[in-house]
Structure 1
């Protein structure tokens, strides 16, 4: 029998790991059943992964006539991840294990317009605080993930002409963190990582076609298509905030006129709220002016909750525009679930009900037959959870797994890990000159619903 090729070895190892990590396989026989691999291959590949701590063995299961099977699990504690979700006005950071489970979380106000040196400097300081206060895994830092509120070229990790991020265009975010933290880094649009978060750990679990819409200072969408995050050819898929919804009107911060974001986002709500307050049409919103500040989108939501007619109309106006955009997306994409997240989406039932009403009225009946429209179940954690899922998927992808094992084969696994860390998989990768690629995962194991 000829030796397995490097490609065969990599594919088999990814399949085995994903069967345990994503699909919840609990034994080698179950891995073989789920992946179609032979038992000998499963035993060899799972042994390699166990040697570096990515598969752990527990007790035994019931016997079916032979030796009782050993329970297997994913070695989430073999290392840790650092993630950050940068919004227009906030920073969330987290320390997660390799399964993406959040171990520690911090948040603070921020202004993305302050520029990359100031904002990313705070992210670095917050990362340092997390690792100082939450003892990380002995295996060390395996990867870093960041979401930023603008278009990102995923292959380079650089923002591209982000409308609300002056000074960030083509900024080398990935290179900065790789140099300072000495770990691989992935950067994506913030809504993509939020979509990943709710799909992996929130209300979107079990759905294969999902639209996640963030309605905050800006508006954007993340698309899960057939069980995969869809970034598009250049990484700009889902930038729905800059769809033109009226021909004339307000100039958007992107420079165009009539964009959805300019009419329905949090910045638009705050702008219109100040106008109503100054015109005396909302005494509730005018209280902000009396306090020496401008009303915010949060003020509008709070005032609407107290029954202020002007604030109710502002929210409904925003929700109708968002619902109209989503009706087009539903007719085009036919998702089974739409998840609404972001600060404005927290305005309550009125906002969500108006979106639902507009979508169901303006979409085709077949497209909405089983469509659900629900709020995010993860709130402000969606981004950091999703960034952790993004990093884990990349670390353990076909393109990256060999490099991951080569880096961490001797860390945290003792003598056995040192002996087998540079396994057949990693040696094959070195022999064939595999290099770091940042693409979508090509090997898919169906997840638990």
Structure 2
């Protein structure tokens, strides 16, 4: 199919996917296409089994027009959200609704054979929970490290020993016979917000900042994830912090933001406060348990411990200063904050907001909103699901499998589409 006609086909399909029922006349007005063109595109999508008629719209005096919707039960996609200490795996329909899911602890440092082996078991188990499941159309995977998007392979991930260059796509494609896309976990979180949070969809230009074990940012420009040329856009955790140039980061450099304000850093500093006696509350935790976590630091701050509060506020200011630079440079309409550190309490969040509004250009913050993620832990799984769906219905991917009616059994389409330079 010619490129112009394929673009029109995808536009019609996207409009149908976005609604809960739409008429051909509404599609024509919304897309600025002629009714004959829309009818042809709808007919093609119906013959491929992607769009079905679903009832009638109210009549305006004549024959009631038919409503069209996505045939969301035609296939399944798997979303796989792999974190540093846990994973979530789910199966969703073609509308992105998660039907079944499983969450469990995991250690990404155990290596790809252990982690992906368990992923394969969970996907198979979830498929077994569904009565007469449709075919698996694709898999979206998020991992906590840099990913070359074109190949879906991690590249020198600091907290993922043994994963460098690992063929995640090839392994999962061979196991399930479906296309696979892999991305950095923060890009996946940003996509999850974009596709399920109405405020994020309305903003179109947004920045998702995750502050957990590490720190990273996902950028969305014009409603699309911006990955850069090689897939590493948004890796702000390794931006240098001027007043911490002696602190060694796990990436091997010194003075990285993540090394002084990430979850591991806060736990380390919290232990130092306990050992020095500067924080009586944390000293009690250390004596009782032998360790201090970032959650303990937050709890101590909530109990009025000034040292713990000061530690969190400093981390918030450091993150906020970096974020202020990004806000002035990128000028998003919305900043979404996620990760265990910001969701643990208001101490970090307040300091971040104060730094951003104080240090960014006034024009860049005039309409800016800074909000906590409304999805929390669910954002990663939602984003992984939509990573697969968005790529399956891309103009560069859809023609590769449309004539077959399904991408199941066509894992090669992921390699073909992911080679595009993606924003």
Fold similarity call, TM over 0.5: yes
Q: Which residue of 2 aligns with 1:159?
A: 154
The answer as to 2:105 corresponding to 1:125 is: no
- State the SS of the aligned residue for 1:379: coil
Aligned-residue offset at 1:37: 2.5
1:108-187 matches, cutoff 5 A: 108-135=104-131, 137-138=133-134, 140-187=135-182
Q: Which residue of 2 aligns with 1:9?
A: 5
- CA 1:258/1:18 → structure 2, altered by over 3 Å: closer, same or farther? same
The answer as to 2:201 corresponding to 1:205 is: yes
Aligned-residue offset at 1:442: 9.2
1:21-420 matches, cutoff 5 A: 21-22=17-18, 26-135=22-131, 137-138=133-134, 140-202=135-197, 203-246=199-242, 248-409=245-406
For structure 2, which runs of at least 5 residues remain unmatched after alignment?
none
For each residue in 1:374-431, what CA deviation from the matched residue of structure 2 results, as whole angstroms up to 9, or x when unmatched? 00000111011011111111101111112332443599xxxxxxxxxxxxxxxxxxxx
Range with greater deviation from structure 2 (103-112 or 332-341): 103-112
CA RMSD of aligned residues (A): 2.3
Q: Which residue of 1 aligns with 2:417?
A: 437
CA contact (8 A) 2:49 2:405 kept: no
- State the SS of the aligned residue for 2:96: coil
Aligned-residue offset at 1:186: 0.2
CA contact (8 A) 1:77 1:137 kept: no
Aligned-residue offset at 1:301: 1.8
Between the two proteins, the alignment pairs up a number of residues equal to 418
- State the SS of the aligned residue for 2:175: helix
Range with greater deviation from structure 2 (272-281 or 160-169): 272-281
Q: Name the TM-score, length of structure 2 as normaliser.
A: 0.93
For each residue in 1:204-239, what CA deviation from the matched residue of structure 2 results, as whole angstroms up to 9, or x when unmatched? 231111000010000000001122110011110000
The answer as to 2:15 corresponding to 1:19 is: yes
CA contact (8 A) 1:78 1:137 kept: no
Aligned-residue offset at 1:47: 2.0
For structure 1, which runs of at least 5 residues remain unmatched after alignment?
412-432, 444-449
Distance in 1 (alpha carbons) for counterparts of 2:77 and 2:213: 28
- CA 1:397/1:386 → structure 2, altered by over 3 Å: closer, same or farther? same
For each residue in 1:3-50, what CA deviation from the matched residue of structure 2 results, as whole angstroms up to 9, or x when unmatched? xx5323322211110111136660111112222222222222212222
CA contact (8 A) 1:395 1:401 kept: yes
Distance in 2 (alpha carbons) for counterparts of 1:129 and 1:24: 30
Aligned-residue offset at 1:194: 0.2
- State the SS of the aligned residue for 1:77: coil
- CA 1:410/1:319 → structure 2, altered by over 3 Å: closer, same or farther? closer
CA contact (8 A) 2:401 2:407 kept: no
- State the SS of the aligned residue for 2:327: helix
Distance in 2 (alpha carbons) for counterparts of 1:90 and 1:116: 14
Distance in 2 (alpha carbons) for counterparts of 1:233 and 1:19: 29
CA contact (8 A) 1:198 1:382 kept: yes
* Runs of 4+ residues deviating >6 angstroms: 440-443
CA contact (8 A) 2:137 2:407 kept: no
Q: Name the TM-score, length of structure 1 as normaliser.
A: 0.88
Aligned-residue offset at 1:65: 4.9
- CA 1:410/1:97 → structure 2, altered by over 3 Å: closer, same or farther? closer
- State the SS of the aligned residue for 1:437: helix
